[in-house]
């Protein structure tokens, strides 16, 4: 019984990887670089995007918003002059706690790929499942806020190990917390040594310019990036 269950899970991940490659191919064809933005719920992904994309003078950005229900985040981003597309995992996808490659595939026809250079996918807030499902992204960026504690890299290693950049958010709150930043960085290095990291506050704007620069210096043509590893 146990072995059968493992096989089903493996098959599902294989199927996901195949669709993720098809998505990646379509994004490459359109010369769109794709970032999969992940975090726990409330780490600050949407506020970070609001802060980042407000009068952003870098590549032309589109956002794909993944939520279980509603369009709360898409509505927040709508005032910015960027195209925003919503996917809800509860409509037809069983209310999943993550985006998978098939959900992103279903959204591709609605994405203005000819009008953008960079697609940022805000994944569903969760530190476990999104890490297991590639969606066709070139880069994975995760947001870890200082209110979540220093131990998270050790508790959710796959998420931290598979990302290309860690944004440590809400640093404006550091004076009010007993969060030990050095301990967090040590734990991060145990799981993913030397992964690039930036200290930011989506609230005050501290560190946002460095993150914007990182976005501006991404290769504009996706095919210039290494093929994303499958899990
Ligand atoms: N103090 C502080 N609050 C933040 C920061 N970033 C986000 N928040 C707040 O954290 C809450 C969750 O933010 P949101 O962007 O919705 O998180 P998401 O679920 O990851 O998209 C909101 O109340 C934000 O205003 C930050 O840098 N500092
Ligand atoms: Mg959000």
The whole-angstrom separation of Cα 40 and Cα 48 is 14
pLDDT of residue 53: 97
Burial class (CB in 10 A: 0-12, 13-18, 19+), 105: middle
Considering every ligand atom shown, identify the ligand nearest to the alpha carbon of residue 206 and give its number: 1
Pocket of ligand 1, beta carbon within 6 A = 39, 41-47, 73, 125, 169-170, 172-173, 201-203
The arithmetic mean of pLDDT across residues 210-226, rounded, is 77
Q: Which domains, ranges and CATH numbers included, belong to the chain?
A: 2-220 (3.40.50.300)
Cα angle 222-157-94, degrees, rounded to a multiple of 5: 70
- What is the 8-class DSSP label of residue 217? T
Q: Which atom of ligand 1 is nearest to the CA of 40?
A: 20
pLDDT tens per residue across span 10-20? 777 889 999 99
**To which H or E segment does residue 149 belong?**
none
The arithmetic mean of pLDDT across residues 71-97, rounded, is 89
Instruction: Please state whether 69 falls in left (phi above 0), alpha (psi between -120 and 50) or beta.
Output: beta
Q: How far is the CA of 193 from the centre of ligand 1 (A)?
A: 27
The arithmetic mean of pLDDT across residues 117-135, rounded, is 95
Orientation of helix 208-216 relative to helix 45-53, angle to 10°: 70
Question: pLDDT confidence of 226, banded at 50, 70, 90?
Answer: low
pLDDT of residue 127: 95
pLDDT tens per residue across span 130-176? 999 999 999 999 999 999 999 999 999 999 999 999 999 999 999 99
Global pTM exceeds 0.75: yes
Q: Which atom of ligand 1 is nearest to the CA of 43?
A: 20
Instruction: Report the percentage of the chain scoring pLDDT > 90.
Output: 81
pLDDT of residue 221: 56
pLDDT of residue 230: 44
The whole-angstrom separation of Cα 210 and Cα 158 is 25
Whether the CB-CB separation of 136 and 168 falls below 8 Å is answered with: no
E strand segments, 146-221 = 165-169, 197-199
Q: How far is the CA of 1 from the centre of ligand 2 (A)?
A: 38
Q: How far is the CA of 209 from the centre of ligand 1 (A)?
A: 18
- Look at residues 68, 86, 195, 207 and name the one whose alpha carbon lies nearest to residue 141: 195
The arithmetic mean of pLDDT across residues 177-183, rounded, is 97
Whether the CB-CB separation of 25 and 109 falls below 8 Å is answered with: no
Residues with CB under 5 A from ligand 2 (ion): 45-46, 73
CA 225 to chain centre: 17
What is the pLDDT of the chain when averaged over all its residues? 91
Question: pLDDT confidence of 4, banded at 50, 70, 90?
Answer: low
pLDDT of residue 222: 47
């Amino acid at each position: 019984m146990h072995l059968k269950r493992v096989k089903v899970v493996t098959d599902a991940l294989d199927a996901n990887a195949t669709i993720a490659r098809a998505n990646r191919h379509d994004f490459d064809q359109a010369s769109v670089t794709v970032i999969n933005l992940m975090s726990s719920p409330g780490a600050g992904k949407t506020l970070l995007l609001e802060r980042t994309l407000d009068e952003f003078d870098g590549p032309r950005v589109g956002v794909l918003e993944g939520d279980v229900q509603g369009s709360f985040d898409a509505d927040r981003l709508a005032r910015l002059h960027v195209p925003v597309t919503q996917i809800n995992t509860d409509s037809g996808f069983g209310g999943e706690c993550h985006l998978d490659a098939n959900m992103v595939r279903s959204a591709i026809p609605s994405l203005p790929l000819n009008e953008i250079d960079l697609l940022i996918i805000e994944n569903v807030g969760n530190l476990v499942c999104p890490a297991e499902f590639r969606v066709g992204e070139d880069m994975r960026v995760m947001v870890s806020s200082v209110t979540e504690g220093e131990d998270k890299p050790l508790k959710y290693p796959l998420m931290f190990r598979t990302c290309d950049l860690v944004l440590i958010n809400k640093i404006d709150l550091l004076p009010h917390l007993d969060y030990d930043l050095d301990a967090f960085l040590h734990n991060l290095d145990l799981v993913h040594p030397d992964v690039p990291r930036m200290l930011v506050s989506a609230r005050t704007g501290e560190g946002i310019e460095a993150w914007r620069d990182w976005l501006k210096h991404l290769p504009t043509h996706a095919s210039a990036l290494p093929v994303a590893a499958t899990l």
